[in-house]
Amino acid sequence: MEATTMMADLTLSDELQDVDLGDKRRNERYVRIAGRLAAQPDKSVPDAMENHAEVEAYYRLMSNDAAEHQTLLEPHFDKTSRRSEASQTVLVAHDTTEFAYAIHDEPSRENLARLRANQQGFHWHASLAVSADGTRAPLGLVASRPYVHASQIEGQEALRFLARAEWTSGQ
């Protein structure tokens, strides 16, 4: 099956419907919030939400221990794997992006690393599966890893690129 056909009827709600954040209402809130953010990727959280209550719901959800990065993305990873299995050959593109924020005053923002004298931030490594059928249609992420210190991956460079990609070799 051609990858562009596989992706044609995909909705964010379908993609995330299997999320398990420990509570049905929390799951529904996540899907709703993700939909708002995806519909307006150029907007900040307050601008993308319909009202102040939705903004508060977003911040409550993101501060909940159940809303771990991998947990939020697991349904997408699983569906990406299924789409990839339907393709004969899949390419996985890797990229690391730096998210840098200017430091205007002290104290520093919590949970961010100092990148430069006047910047804090973090890095995000993503692995995107694309079809190799000539269309290079995106199939989805197979890995996503935010990190704040180079020491977290030092000596493990190969693992960063191989994480969550073992299924490509059928193992």
pLDDT tens-digit map of 27-71: 999 999 999 999 999 999 999 999 999 999 999 999 999 999 999
Tokens of 25: 């209402």
Closest of 139, 147, 143, 171 to residue 10, by C-alpha: 139
Collapsing DSSP to helix, strand or coil, 1 comes out as coil
Q: Highest-confidence range of 2-16, 53-67, 97-111, 135-149, by mean pLDDT?
A: 53-67
> Which pLDDT score, from 0 to 100, does residue 118 have?
85
Non-local CB neighbours of 90 within 8 Å, separated by 6+ positions:
84, 129, 130, 131, 132, 139, 168
Closest of 85, 84, 78 to residue 129, by C-alpha: 84
pTM for this prediction = 0.77
∠61-149-81 over CA atoms, to 5°?
60
